[in-house]
Amino acid sequence: MNKKMFYIIFFAITFIIGLIIFNKYRVAPTINISQLDLIDQNAQKFDINSLKGKKIILSFYASWCPNCIEELSVLHKIKKQKLSDIEVVAVTDESLDKLIVFKNKKQYPFTFLKLTSSFSSLGIASIPTTYLINSKGDIVYNKVGYIHWDDESNLNHLKTLME
């Protein structure tokens, strides 16, 4: 094998590995929101379909994740004035005890829920992972990573998507 062929094969393999990693960690998986197995802080089954008709920000987070904490904090700051018609649902796969401690510590006016399985069972490999759902129940946007909710043009764009 000559040197040129080696480099072509090397770069092709590197490119393919890069695409796989990008896909796993930077692209939100397709999930069926209505079939999520969720419980509330009282360990009672929560039917996400009970929120049908509402616009929803569905954030998969963990209490140890700095970007998750920052994003939820920004959502809290702008919720009353700029997101009053939108329900924020924060979902973790941590223990119920950790969910309760986090919820009580932060005092955010969000719906906090626990996924009964792991994030990886949904294909979520990185957090925060966020889905925007319109009032018809359709996912209109998804993103892996921090969303700049405090950027006014970004906020307006995302809100428009949920109309």
In the chain, where are the structural domains located?
A: 1-29, 31-161
Asked if the bond preceding 66 is cis, omega within 30° of 0, the reply is no
CATH of 31-161, one of 3.40.50.300, 3.40.120.10, 3.40.640.10, 3.40.30.10: 3.40.30.10
User: pTM, whole model, 2 decimals?
Assistant: 0.85
pLDDT band, very low/low/confident/very high, at 98 (cuts 50, 70, 90)? very high
Contacts of 144 (CB under 8 A, 6+ apart): 25, 26, 27, 28, 126, 127, 128, 129
Tens of pLDDT, residue by residue over 9-25, are 777 777 776 656 655 55
Lowest mean pLDDT across 2-11, 82-91, 121-130, 148-157: 2-11
Residue 7 has a pLDDT of 73
Residue 8 has a pLDDT of 77
